[in-house]
Amino acid sequence: MKIALIQMPVVADKKANLEQAVSRIRDAACQHIDMAVLPEMFCSPYENSQFWHFSEPRGGQVQQAMSALAKELGIYIVAGSLPEAEGEKLYNTSFVYDRTGAEIACHRKAHLFDIDVVGGQRFQESETLSAGDKATVFDTEFGKLGLCICFDLRFQELAMTMGQAGAQAIICPAAFNMTTGPAHWEVMFRGRAVDNQLYTIGVAPARDETASYVSYGNSIAVDPWGTVMCRGGGEAETLVATLEFEKCSQIRQQLPILKARQTKLYKILN
Ligand SMILES: O=C(O)CCC(=O)C(=O)O
């Protein structure tokens, strides 16, 4: 499966962001990709004060545009994430479209990003967003893929749940920052890949030093052996990686850690 990681700039203009996403996906499609992945909050500044303003309900304009583009180009699109409004609640939601434009998956970020690092990044998503309540795995002709959003990937329990449900890759629209990005981004994508013996794909907005929340960028694809296949910098760019899913079963056979688990030892103490 050939996958494009669209590390795009995100500005405070929904229409401009949508045009940017469409044009970059069109360009990537010239490389005969099967799937394009956009960043977390690709249509909205990553700011609590902006999420309602940039939100849309189920079936909104951005979702319609992504569905139409998937159908036109005959590819899968993981439409990063956007603020999804439902009644009085807002969710950080990722929608997935298949080659016919049908919505085949939708993941609401389940772990809200509430952190306060002394001398570094503070963000409290729970001031505006509500949490999703399920793990998400969807089918493609290549096999099953897992889907989560940014902070969700810090939770090995969720990654393991997706792996156990058959995911051979975890697709993760994300937006780390200049505090946690340099410290944890690569190690996390590599860790989840090695622990679960699957591919991990992280796609982030390009870095904008003038934004109130500065994205680390560094979109990344890691194989099930933990090798970094490609990794961006801070600039806008599109990376393309080819995933060979038989590698997951080969590695699982040769290094059978998933089978060797001693589940009776792993009681979680709340
Ligand atoms: O986990 C992190 O350090 C960053 C998470 C994040 O930026 C997010 O969930 O949006």
Looking at the domain assignment, is residue 268 inside a domain? no
Confidence (pTM): 0.97
What pLDDT sits at residue 169? 98
- Residue 99: CATH number of its domain: 3.60.110.10
Nearest to 104 by CA among 132, 79, 131: 79
Among 116, 150, 158, 189, say which to mutate for ligand 1: greatest number of ligand atoms within 8 Å of CB.
150
Pocket of ligand 1 (CB under 6 A): 40, 113, 150-151, 154, 175-177, 180, 184
CB contact set of 147 (below 8 Å; sequence gap of 6+): 78, 94, 96, 105, 107, 136, 137, 138, 162, 170, 171, 172
What pLDDT sits at residue 269? 67
What pLDDT sits at residue 233? 98
Number of folded domains that form the chain: 1
Instruction: Domain of residue 173: give its range.
Output: 2-263
Looking at the domain assignment, is residue 200 inside a domain? yes
Looking at the domain assignment, is residue 270 inside a domain? no
Q: Ligand 1 mean position to 174 CA, how many Å? A: 7
Q: What ipTM was estimated for this complex?
A: 0.95
Looking at the domain assignment, is residue 75 inside a domain? yes
Q: Ligand 1 mean position to 79 CA, how many Å? A: 18
Q: Count other Cβ atoms within 10 Å, centred on residue 202.
A: 31
Q: Which residues are catalytic?
A: 40, 109, 150
Looking at the domain assignment, is residue 269 inside a domain? no
Q: What is the mean pLDDT of each run of 10 residues along the chain (270 residues)?
A: 98 98 98 98 96 98 98 98 98 98 98 93 95 98 98 97 97 97 98 98 97 96 98 98 98 96 81
What pLDDT sits at residue 270? 63
Closest atom of ligand 1 to CA, residue 153:
1
Nearest to 165 by CA among 194, 196, 192: 196
Looking at the domain assignment, is residue 215 inside a domain? yes
What pLDDT sits at residue 155? 97
Looking at the domain assignment, is residue 124 inside a domain? yes
Residue with the nearest Cα to atom 5 of ligand 1?
151
Looking at the domain assignment, is residue 21 inside a domain? yes
One-letter identity of residue 100: T
